[in-house]
């Protein structure tokens, strides 16, 4: 048991340290379909860094990372994020949450190579928003929709909500 806890702790610290070392790619080229795949690991690292770094820290780098993420997701030939207004109800409250949603969906698609599962993509996006919102609650405006998602997740009803509204 102690070995499992130690392994889990080391893994978490490794991911956190790796995320802290993320550098936003410079002079990236995202024009042709084949330009996107080489940046997939950078996108995963970007999403991890955005999730691990408090919203009020490294704001210039966060802005660059968000721009990179948005440009990549907007043009990716494989990752197709759906913005269902019945699920993504927090867009008007905080644009930061929309980027977190896009990142959660993109990361899930890249790491599983399951690019077509809208339910799982949406669930990953909402769960990313919940984690980010919870971690940065004191620096973000209160959002009733996200608060609702937190309660649904606590009750084990988040997936059902997404399925019903997709």
How far is 39 from 35, CA to CA, in rounded Å? 8
Give the per-residue pLDDT at 155: 97
User: What's the Cα-to-Cα distance from 161 to each of 24, 113, 144, rounded to whole Å?
Assistant: 35, 24, 16
Q: Which of 152, 141, 52 is nearest to 94 (CA)?
A: 141
Give the per-residue pLDDT at 90: 85
Give the per-residue pLDDT at 89: 87
Q: What is the pTM of this model?
A: 0.85
CB 60 within 8 A of CB 90: no
Give the per-residue pLDDT at 20: 57
Give the per-residue pLDDT at 92: 76
User: Where do the structural domains in the chain lie, given as residue ranges?
Assistant: 2-165
Would the CA dihedral through 14, 39, 70, 161 be positive or negative?
Answer: negative
Residuewise pLDDT in 10s, the chain (166 residues): 444 444 434 444 444 444 458 999 999 999 999 999 999 999 999 999 999 999 999 999 999 999 999 999 999 999 999 999 889 988 877 778 999 999 999 999 999 999 999 999 999 999 999 999 999 999 998 999 999 999 999 999 999 999 999 8
Give the per-residue pLDDT at 115: 93
Between CA 158 and CA 34, with CA 125 as vertex, the angle to 5 degrees is 145
């Amino acid at each position: 048991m102690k070995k499992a806890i130690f392994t889990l702790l080391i893994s978490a610290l490794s991911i956190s340290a790796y995320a802290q070392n993320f550098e936003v790619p410079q002079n990236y080229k995202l024009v042709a379909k084949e330009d996107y795949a080489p940046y997939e690991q950078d996108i995963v690292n970007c999403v991890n860094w955005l999730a691990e770094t408090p919203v009020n820290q490294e704001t210039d780098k966060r802005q660059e990372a968000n721009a990179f993420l948005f440009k990549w997701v907007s043009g990716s030939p494989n990752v197709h994020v759906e913005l269902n207004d019945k699920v993504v109800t927090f867009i008007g409250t905080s644009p930061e949450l929309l980027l977190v949603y896009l990142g959660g969906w993109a990361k899930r698609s890249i790491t599983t190579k399951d690019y077509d599962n809208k339910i799982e993509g949406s669930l990953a996006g909402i769960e990313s928003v919940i984690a980010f919102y919870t971690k940065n609650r004191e620096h973000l405006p209160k959002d009733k929709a996200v608060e609702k998602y937190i309660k649904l997740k606590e009750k084990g009803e988040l997936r059902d909500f997404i399925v019903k509204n997709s």
